[in-house]
Amino acid sequence: MQRIGFIVFPGFQVMSLAATSVFEFANREMGEPIYEVHLLSETGGSICSSIGVSVATQPFDDTSFDTLIVGASSDNEPSTPGLIKFVRQALGRCRRVAATCIGTFILAEAGLLDGRRATTHWNAARTLQARFPKVKVEEDRIFIIDGPVWTSAGMTAGIDLALAMVEKDLGADVARAVARKLVVYHRRAGGQRQFSALLEMEPKSDRIQSALAYAKGNLDTALTVEQLAEAAHLSPRQFSRAFRAETGQSPAQAIENLRVEAARLMMEQSRHPIDVIARQTGFADRGRMRRAFLRTFGQPPQAIQRIARAKATA
């Protein structure tokens, strides 16, 4: 049996506990207790969440755990020395150590993320990078596995992280069955974006919104700055300046993000070959699309397509 230690602390987010349901349903799917979940805290006893609901916990001790997961809190406050010491020691005693949402900050404080890739809630990613420059923060990932250290984005991404653990331990079929029983899609790929390209850009003016709408409807064409500027009824120079001011991106970056998102959706909703998807979403060839996918998702198109087809089969 694998012991899962899940750390909570005063003010923890109840939503982070949702990940533990994955292990519960994995036990049900297997018909035997594969996982044994323990709620832990520095002091033990009753720990109150951010919404006022309390849970009973065991105090930190020498109990061995296969997996240690740090939950998330509402506020990103410095951790206590006892918590940091316990987490720091865990890397040498556990097969894997993980954190959900801004629980990643605790792993960083303990030094477990130095030189490693990690993610967290998109709203806290830049703060994480600024406070811990040795961490290789990838702010737009659902979850990241770097050796024995696992980190996930905010809230529901902890479920994806736990499903990935079950898949690693018990196989893809069990993970898919658990996902179905939890009424969620089979786990999102770790490289999937935390939110859509258009939501990320959030243009303020009608002109820039019109240009983006034009771009999204014509991704299979070259889409020059001149074309986009004409759609926005601006000169190319005015358009480029206004576009960057409103979206924080260059037109070229934005178009690539839209193309990558459209290509991923085609992979999820059709069985077109990668060459066809590359042409229909405006990439000149599959090599250019591959480079764009690696920049955006950290995975090549083939990996995203395999996951999409596995979901379709399930």
pLDDT tens figures, 107-138: 999 999 999 999 998 888 889 999 999 999 98
Q: What is the mean pLDDT of residues 38-66?
A: 96
Range in 25-34, 144-153, 208-217 with the lowest mean pLDDT: 208-217
Instruction: Decide if pLDDT at 67 tops 80.
Output: yes
Q: What is the mean pLDDT of residues 15-25?
A: 95
User: From CA 282, how far away is CA 263, in angstroms rounded?
Assistant: 9
Instruction: Decide if pLDDT at 242 tops 80.
Output: yes
Quickly state the pLDDT bin for 194 (edges 50, 70, 90).
low
User: From CA 41, how far away is CA 87, in angstroms rounded?
Assistant: 11
- CB-based contacts of 305: which residues, under 8 Å, 6+ apart? 267, 274
What tokens appear for 182 in the block?
Answer: 């939890």
Residue 275's CB: how many other CB atoms inside 10 A?
A: 12
Instruction: Decide if pLDDT at 185 tops 90.
Output: no
Evaluate whether 157 touches 139 at the Cβ level (below 8 Å): no
Residue 284: how many CA atoms within 13 Å on its side-chain side? 5
Q: What is the mean pLDDT of residues 260-282?
A: 87
pLDDT score of 188: 55
138-169: per-residue pLDDT in tens? Answer: 876 789 999 999 999 887 889 999 999 999 99
pLDDT score of 198: 59
* Three-class SS state of 310: helix
Instruction: Decide if pLDDT at 195 tops 80.
Output: no
Give me the DSSP letters along 237-258.
Answer: HHHHHHHHHHHSS-HHHHHHHH
Which of 61-70, 114-123, 239-248 tops mean pLDDT? 61-70
Instruction: Decide if pLDDT at 186 tops 70.
Output: no
Instruction: Decide if pLDDT at 193 tops 80.
Output: no
Distances (CA, A) of 120 to 77, 135, 153, 288: 15, 12, 4, 28
Residue 306's CB: how many other CB atoms inside 10 A?
A: 14
Quickly state the pLDDT bin for 204 (edges 50, 70, 90).
confident
- CB-based contacts of 182: which residues, under 8 Å, 6+ apart? 21, 22, 25, 159
Instruction: Decide if pLDDT at 196 tops 80.
Output: no
Instruction: Decide if pLDDT at 55 tops 90.
Output: yes
Q: What is the mean pLDDT of residues 28-39?
A: 97
Quickly state the pLDDT bin for 172 (edges 50, 70, 90).
confident
pLDDT score of 110: 96
Instruction: Decide if pLDDT at 74 tops 90.
Output: no
Residue 253's CB: how many other CB atoms inside 10 A?
A: 16
Average pLDDT value over all residues in the chain:
89
pTM of the entire predicted model:
0.65
Instruction: Decide if pLDDT at 199 tops 60.
Output: no
Q: For residue 260, which amino acid is it?
A: V
250-266: per-residue pLDDT in tens? Answer: 999 999 989 998 898 88
